Homo-oligomer: A and B are copies of this chain.
Amino acid sequence: MTEPRRRNRSATRQRLLAAARHRFAKEGYEAASVRDIAADAGVDAALVFRYFGSKKGLFEEAAATTTPTGLLDGPPEELPARLLHSLLFEDWSAYAGEHPLVAMLRSSAHDEARDHLREELCGTYVRALERLSDAPDAALRAELFSAWMLGIGVLRSVVGTPAVSAATPPDLAPHLAAVASALFERPVAGSPPPPPAATDDPGAPD
């Protein structure tokens, strides 16, 4: 094999990116120092500048969000529930336990972070939710629902409000259905569709 075994450029990059995601999410851009990130990754801080040019470069690359594929597909009336479920109950431990968009609020003094936030939110979430309404202000409705999800995420993982923090999917489902139905003026499901059930699915293959 032509590649070295111990010293591995791309693996080190990935370790730095993972550590950066953690630190930036938990402490915000300013408070997270390059030295701390490098220490978490187990490498020297100088490698950050070797591989990413600057702290800002590291942040930009670390903040490049991966919207889970398939999240926006499926029946429109299930979309709100699927989005909220992903936001709240997916495993975001790679981002210090919070959804990347929620964690990025800590760095929102930086234009980079704000732009990224807006693009991700508008370009992905709002655009998908817009299809739920035919009203002339469908975009506003979609943003208002996005605001609700983001707010719930903030209350849950940042502020730590008691009721929302302790809420389980069944607790939230009726309210989700009620609010989304009222906002989009059409029936909206309160629970996400069941998972693909990889173990036993005799019905609909292919």
Contacts and interface: CB of A to CB of B under 8 A. Distances in A.
Contact of A109 (B27, B146, B159, B183): B27
14 contacts: A27-B30, A114-B158, A114-B160, A117-B159, A118-B159, A121-B161, A137-B163, A140-B163, A143-B162, A144-B152, A150-B154, A151-B154, A179-B179, A181-B182
Contact of A147 (B109, B114, B152): B152
Contacts of A30: 27-28, 30-31
Contacts of A163: 137, 139-140, 142-143
A52 interface: no
A164 B161 CA distance: 25
Contacts of A109: 26-28, 31, 106
Q: Would you call the interface of chain A mostly helix, strand, loop, or mixed? A: helix
From A117, A121, A140, A159, name the one whose CB has the most chain B CB atoms within 10 angstroms.
A159
A41 interface: no
A143 B161 contact: yes
Q: How many copies does the complex hold?
A: 2
From A26, A139, A154, name the one whose CB has the most chain B CB atoms within 10 angstroms.
A154
Interface in A142-180: 142-144, 146-152, 154-155, 158-164, 167, 171, 175, 178-179
Contacts of A141: 175
A68 B108 CA distance: 26
A97 to B, nearest CB: 13
